Structure 1
Amino acid sequence: MSTCTALIIPANPAEPARLETIDAGLQSLQTLVGGNIEAVSAQDWHFYLNEEGKILGLAPNRRACELVLEETGGLFDIYCGDVVALGETDDGGEGNVPEHLIATAQRLFGLQQPTA
């Protein structure tokens, strides 16, 4: 079991994007995205979303698309449903979302900060 700081980006733009400490295990990730997970990798971070998001008619996640475009310079898919972004450890495990990704998300669409 791995506890990490994640960037949660709901597909619903009325719900704030937020930083949250999560259990980064499979069941927790599936609960957060509402189904089986699909991973999308980019540099030193990756995110998970519902692998059937398009089939189920989940709403496009415009903020996740905007973040990917800003961070990578390209957008190769439309991501549907809620997104959970994490970083990677040196051995390839789940890690805290990188600071540069948090800064980009804050600049693009703001983040709800965790409460103590």
Structure 2
Amino acid sequence: MKVIYIEGNDSEPVVKDIKGDLAELQSLVGGYIQVIYYHDVAIVCNEDGKFLELKPNRLIIDRDRNLYDIICGPMLVTSQIEDGSLTEEQIEKWKYVFS
């Protein structure tokens, strides 16, 4: 499945083609996963990122322009559809948003 991977705050979003099984997702985010449904995508991150004091990666802003969450540690952006693969339009949009 095509996803956007963002390793850290100072890194650019990178498109990756992954299998998307649980072990791979956990490996990419460095631990147990948490899924945050955000607009038309799902953000996969380390569920203990804040507790483990991983470095902040990206701010998540809600539709009213308020801070919703802070992602700490590596993150993936996937589609909310069953196979999780992003469309080309989603890739363009979310690479821009998270750049």
Q: Tell me, which stretches of 5 or more residues in structure 2 are unaligned?
A: none
Aligned Cα root-mean-square deviation (Å) = 2.0
**TM-score, normalised on structure 2?**
0.82
The answer to whether 1:33 aligns with 2:22 is no
Q: Percent identity?
A: 30
Q: Tell me, which stretches of 5 or more residues in structure 1 are unaligned?
A: 110-116
**TM-score, normalised on structure 1?**
0.71
For 1:87 and 1:26, the matched residues in 2 are separated by 16
Does structure 1 retain, via aligned residues, the 8 Å contact 2:13–2:95? Answer: no
Give the secondary-structure state (helix, strand or coil) at the position aligned to 1:78: strand
Number of residue pairs matched? 97
For 1:97 and 1:74, the matched residues in 2 are separated by 26
Give the secondary-structure state (helix, strand or coil) at the position aligned to 2:12: coil
> Which of the two has higher C-alpha Rg?
1
Does structure 2 retain, via aligned residues, the 8 Å contact 1:36–1:52? Answer: yes
Counterpart among 2, 5, 8 of residue 5 in structure 1: 2
Once the two structures are superposed, the pairs formed by residues 1-116 of structure 1 within 5 Å of their partners are: 4-13=1-10, 15-62=11-58, 65=59, 68-69=60-61, 72=63, 73-89=65-81, 93-108=82-97, 109=99
Give the secondary-structure state (helix, strand or coil) at the position aligned to 1:61: strand
* Larger strand proportion of the pair: 2
For 2:91 and 2:67, the matched residues in 1 are separated by 19
Q: 1:78 to 1:106 in 2, by over 3 A?
A: closer
Q: 1:49 to 1:106 in 2, by over 3 A?
A: closer
